[in-house]
Amino acid sequence: MSERDDAPYELFYWPAIQGRGEFVRLVLEEAGVAYVDVARQPESEGGGVGVLREMLESELDQTPSFAPPMLRDGDLLVSQTANICLMLARRHGLVPDDEPSRLHANQLQLTIQDWLTEVHDTHHPISVADYYEEQREEARERASFFIEKRMPNFLEYVERVLDSMGGDWLLGHELSYVDLSMFQMIRGLEYAFPRAFDSYRHDVPGLITLIDRVRDRPRVAAYLESDRRIPFNERGIFRHYPELDAG
Amino acid sequence: MSERDDAPYELFYWPAIQGRGEFVRLVLEEAGVAYVDVARQPESEGGGVGVLREMLESELDQTPSFAPPMLRDGDLLVSQTANICLMLARRHGLVPDDEPSRLHANQLQLTIQDWLTEVHDTHHPISVADYYEEQREEARERASFFIEKRMPNFLEYVERVLDSMGGDWLLGHELSYVDLSMFQMIRGLEYAFPRAFDSYRHDVPGLITLIDRVRDRPRVAAYLESDRRIPFNERGIFRHYPELDAG
């Protein structure tokens, strides 16, 4: 882009989880642009989790962020996952340039973000400041509602979107950043709720095909094989607690 | 706008609550553009809540919506609150046109949307399909966490943003749609948690001044006095349950 020099983007996100940062990482990887995952660098090279805390408390930025992920490009510092993803997609050809397509993409992306918040709340329905183990009973109730009602609602909705667009991708005939985010959502559900997800899998054939298409993109495939991809784990948003899953 | 004919926008939202639709209504009102609040029209004139359900299930739209609010402009149908607000703001001069300003505005708007979801979950921590009365104990725990930790976190963040921008408005020297949404958030908190909010009021003088400025905008003031403004009530997102408030 003419407005950028060649310095890599700097991504600031918790270094040990996929979390919301993963939605940004997937866009950066598919776009094939250079970036530094800052907090994953050694502390001796300016990395580590302390960098994130310093940034969140800094009085220096004119646009303070409420929470990671943040993305820096020179003087520009941007936060909120859907906001970062849309910016990158517009700059690097991962969303069409016309207003209706951008609005539709953002509409889908924001629906994925809402869905993600509901996934998070299955293990933290009461307080993010407390451990899962301290809200296990409430988590069981919330997860049960999520699995029985919300997961099928969201899945059916996505299948309808795919039907109505009539192409290979969520926006129709070209891959966009929203497909990457949908891939992450489905991989996460498969990890966190394998039994529940399996019970819905056959209701969403279009979606399953879409996810396979994303998985087979050469840059996505290379990324997933690399050590830049942090494995799912029980500190992230998608957590596999067998007692929260249902068959 | 050259791309529009003079037909009014059509807003589709639940007719008896402010809810997420209110963030859109405030942008439409401040912009001074014509709109029809469709579900609030008489059923004999195509209004009523049934219209919403039909739209959500319709196979006719190429861009199906997961949930209200939706906004229609001719062939364009858009959902997700932050998405609709940004579209309207760009078209009607309620956000600057440069990329950094748009990104900063959207970053703040998405933070308000996250905050709003947390407000909602204070009375519905387990399941939106059940009544508050069925999750009252969990609501008490969640509301207590929200009031003690999250509300001050968000409020302090906004005050920092105002300090860092150094103008009269969240984006600096001109009112934007984000100020309208912040107004709605604060009025909602004052309604739902009057004692808790009062305990933080003096920590955020910049924010309180901002809210007064929004209130005094002529079009906002006229709207708030009109019967187009639905009163806060216990079916919306901001609900006043005294047992969830704290002094």
Taking the Cβ of residue B99 and every Cβ of chain A, the question of whether any pair is shorter than 8 Å is answered with: yes
Mean pLDDT of A209-220: 98
Residue B41, CB-side half-sphere exposure with 13 Å CA sphere: 14
Instruction: Answer yes or no: do A107 and B82 touch at CB < 8 A.
Output: no
Q: Find chain A residues with C-beta within 8 A of B129's C-beta.
A: 145, 149
Please give the mean pLDDT across all residues of chain B.
95
Nearest Cα to B88, choosing from A176, A99, A79?
A99
Residue at B229 is within a domain: no
The C-alpha atoms of residue B206 and residue A211 are separated, in whole angstroms, by 47
Residues 6+ apart with CB under 8 A from B166: B172
Residue B3 has pLDDT above 70, yes or no: no
Q: Find chain B residues with C-beta within 8 A of A129's C-beta.
A: 145, 149
Nearest to B149 among A103, A111, A129 (CB): A129
Best mutation target among A58, A80, A178 (most B Cβ atoms within 10 Å) is: A80
Residue at A11 is within a domain: no
Tokens of A200: 């819905």
Residue at A128 is within a domain: yes
Residue at A88 is within a domain: no
**Which amino acid, B247?**
G
- B91: nearest CA in chain A? A99
Position B5 scores a pLDDT of 62
Query: Would the ipTM clear 0.90, i.e. be above it?
Result: yes
Residue at A185 is within a domain: yes
Mean pLDDT of B184-188: 98
Instruction: Answer yes or no: do B125 and A117 touch at CB < 8 A.
Output: no
Instruction: Answer yes or no: do A61 and B164 touch at CB < 8 A.
Output: yes
Confidence of residue A5 (pLDDT cuts 50, 70, 90): low
Mean pLDDT of B7-17: 97
The C-alpha atoms of residue A147 and residue A193 are separated, in whole angstroms, by 8
Residue B182 has pLDDT above 60, yes or no: yes
Position B60 scores a pLDDT of 75
Residue A128 has pLDDT above 80, yes or no: yes
Mean pLDDT of B174-201: 98
Confidence of residue B127 (pLDDT cuts 50, 70, 90): very high
Number of structural domains (chain A) is 1
Q: Find chain B residues with C-beta within 8 A of A65's C-beta.
A: 107
Position B1 scores a pLDDT of 44
Q: Find chain B residues with C-beta within 8 A of A155's C-beta.
A: none
Are β-strands B9-12 and B70-73 bridged in parallel, bridged antiparallel, or unpaired? antiparallel
Instruction: Answer yes or no: do A142 and B125 touch at CB < 8 A.
Output: yes
Cβ proximity of B232 and B184 under 8 Å: no
Nearest Cα to A85, choosing from A44, A140, A142, A24?
A24
Taking the Cβ of residue B125 and every Cβ of chain A, the question of whether any pair is shorter than 8 Å is answered with: yes
- A67: nearest CA in chain B? B111
Express as a percent the part of chain B with pLDDT over 70: 98
Position B2 scores a pLDDT of 44
Position A58 scores a pLDDT of 82
- A116: nearest CA in chain B? B114
Best mutation target among B63, B76, B108 (most A Cβ atoms within 10 Å) is: B63
Min Cα–Cα distance to chain B from A130, Å: 10
CATH number at A193 reads: 1.20.1050.10
Confidence of residue A246 (pLDDT cuts 50, 70, 90): confident
> Which residue is it, tokens 């990887």?
A29
Cβ proximity of B157 and A64 under 8 Å: yes
Nearest Cα to A215, choosing from A183, A170, A182?
A183
Residues B198-231: tens digit of each pLDDT: 999 999 999 999 999 999 999 999 999 999 999 9
Nearest to A63 among B86, B99, B104 (CB): B104
Residue at B11 is within a domain: no
Q: Cα angle vertex A20, ends A113, B25, to 5°?
A: 30
The C-alpha atoms of residue A178 and residue A23 are separated, in whole angstroms, by 9
Residue at A2 is within a domain: no
Confidence of residue A2 (pLDDT cuts 50, 70, 90): very low
Burial class (CB in 10 A: 0-12, 13-18, 19+), A245: middle
Residues A165-208: tens digit of each pLDDT: 998 999 999 999 999 999 999 999 999 999 999 999 999 999 99
Residues 6+ apart with CB under 8 A from B105: B86, B89, B95, B96, B170, B171, B176, B177, B178
Mean pLDDT of B101-122: 98
Residue at B132 is within a domain: yes
Confidence of residue A4 (pLDDT cuts 50, 70, 90): low
Express as a percent the part of chain A with pLDDT over 90: 92
Taking the Cβ of residue A87 and every Cβ of chain B, the question of whether any pair is shorter than 8 Å is answered with: yes
Residues A97-107: tens digit of each pLDDT: 999 999 999 99
Position B247 scores a pLDDT of 58
Total residue length of chain A: 247
Please give the mean pLDDT across all residues of chain A.
95
Taking the Cβ of residue B164 and every Cβ of chain A, the question of whether any pair is shorter than 8 Å is answered with: yes
Nearest Cα to B182, choosing from B153, B150, B208?
B208
Tell me the pTM.
0.97
- A153: nearest CA in chain B? B66
Taking the Cβ of residue A74 and every Cβ of chain B, the question of whether any pair is shorter than 8 Å is answered with: no
Cβ proximity of A5 and A62 under 8 Å: no
Q: Residue B104 sits in which domain range?
A: 99-217
Residue A3 has pLDDT above 70, yes or no: no
Taking the Cβ of residue A231 and every Cβ of chain B, the question of whether any pair is shorter than 8 Å is answered with: no
Q: Find chain A residues with C-beta within 8 A of B100's C-beta.
A: 76
Instruction: Please provide the DSSP assignment of A20-77 as one string.
Output: THHHHHHHHHHHT--EEEGGGS-GGGT-SHHHHHHHHH-SS-SS--SSS-EEEETTEE
Position B62 scores a pLDDT of 82
Residues B15-56: tens digit of each pLDDT: 999 999 999 999 999 999 999 999 999 999 999 999 999 988
| SS3 state at A208 | helix
Residue A34 has pLDDT above 70, yes or no: yes
Taking the Cβ of residue A145 and every Cβ of chain B, the question of whether any pair is shorter than 8 Å is answered with: yes
Helix axes A99-123, B81-91, angle to 10 degrees: 150
Nearest to B106 among A80, A107, A126 (CB): A80
Confidence of residue A87 (pLDDT cuts 50, 70, 90): very high
Nearest to B83 among A61, A103, A149 (CB): A103
**DSSP character for B227?**
T
